[in-house]
Each structure stands twice: as structure tokens, then as C-alpha cells.
Amino acid sequence: MTNDTEHSALRGLFLDAAAIEFSEELFSTKPVAVSPRFQRQMNAMLTNPQRWAKRRVRPLWKKCVQTAAAILLVCSLSLGTLMAVSPTVRAAVIHWVTEWYETHILYRYYGKQISGELPKYEITELPEGYAETERIEMPEYFCVTYKNEEGQWLRFDYSYMQQGSALDILTEGVEVQDITVNGFDGQIFLSLDPKNDNTLTWIDPNANLQFEVDAFLDESDILYIAESVALKESTK
């Protein structure tokens, strides 16, 4: 028996065993509730599995740097305690922390949970040739994906900035630039590889929302799309 044949046989054996062991879970029709963060991670994995996996296989020294960043975050908890005691301090401090790592930027939010319906925003200047293929609407997260005839996708999403939420964007192999979208601060992530997508994110602190546009378009086109994002007019 060759190695390939042995591997195939073992794989089949393990799959059969798993099917028996987890038959109840596999055939369950009960819906599973997932968080917006998990949904984003799954979208990222399905869109580009190689990049998604690469971000999670990091050398030990990079993990040590992350530990150091975590220590800085712990220090920031003292400020959070002060904010809870003093309304003056709480009003003077922004509600998110941008953590820079070697391979990604993490936007971490803190503050009270936000209640109420998520505002409805839309791209009012969608590029010609793009059609909607997927839409996800949750109480605190919205995402819509478009594709053109060449199969290139354009994704627009936004979510509430609140305790327990975060946004993680890859910086490895990209150029990061500060940018302004309709008066709001943000960053654009331009891939050094033309085969990869570019990302633009910006924050509206008044609405407690962070927006994101991902597309296989250049800087000016993505910025044009981002600046066309507006509240959807009510049909009532």
C-alpha cells in the first residue's frame, strides 16, 4: 500500500469515526447564534483562506510582542476605572483603542452596550457592473457583498463600537495611510500585491459606528465609494 493510499484510508476512517461520534451535532437543525466578530472571521477565511491562516501562524517572538501590548491594555484599565467614577473624565476620553501589532491592527472598543435598532446605511454610488450577492443583518452588525462579472467582490460593513466588540485588520504586506472620510478619521490599507483587495475603515464617534469597505479597487475609487455611504431613506 502506497503512502497516498494509506493516508486516504486513514482519512476515511477518521471521517467515519467523527460522523458516528458527532452524529447528533451534524444532523441537528437547531440554528446556531454567532457573534459579529465570529461572522467577520468566517467571512475573512472564506474570502482568502491563505491570508486568514497566515495571520494565525505567528512565530513565538511575535506572540511575545502581543503579550507586551496586552500589558499596555491592562494599564488602560486603570483609566477605565477612573472613567467609571468621574463623568468628566469619561466624557473626555474616546471610546476605542487602536492596538498596532507587527501583522495587524486591532480596534478595540469599550463602554456601555448600545441598545436600539442599528441605523441603515448604504452605498449610494455603487460602481457599475456590481450586483448584490449576500446580505447579513444583525442587531449590532451589518454586511453586504457585491460582485461584478469578473467575480471580484466589494464588501461594505459597519457595526456598533461597544464593549466586547473589536475589528482586526491585516497589515502584513500592505501600506497603511491615515485618511479622512467625510470629515471622519480613518485608515486605508493598500495591498502591495495587486492580486489582493484593499481596505478602508473609518469611525463616526457621534453615531458610535465603525465602517469598512473592502474591494479590488484603487485608493481613489474606494474613497469615492466610502464618501458615498449615507443613511438610507425610510420608505415608510
pLDDT tens per residue across all 236 residues of the chain: 455 555 556 556 556 665 666 666 556 556 555 555 556 666 666 665 555 444 443 443 344 444 444 444 444 444 444 344 443 333 334 467 777 777 778 887 776 767 678 999 999 999 999 999 999 999 889 999 999 999 999 999 999 887 767 788 878 899 999 999 999 999 999 999 988 999 999 999 888 899 999 999 999 999 999 999 999 876 55
Contact criterion met (CB below 8 Å) for 194 and 88: no
Which alpha helices (DSSP H) does the chain contain, by range? Answer: 3-21, 23-26, 36-47, 49-56, 60-85, 87-92, 219-227
Q: Within a 13 Å sphere around the CA of 86, how many CA atoms are in the beta-carbon half? A: 10
Q: What pLDDT shows up at residue 84?
A: 42
Cα separation of 186 and 96, whole Å? 13
Burial 10-34 (b: 16+ CB within 10 A, else e): eeeeeeeeeeeeeeeeeeeeeeeee
Residue 143 C-beta-side C-alpha neighbours within 13 Å: 18
Surface-to-core class of residue 229, CB atoms within 10 Å of its CB (0-12 exposed, 13-18 middle, 19+ buried)? buried
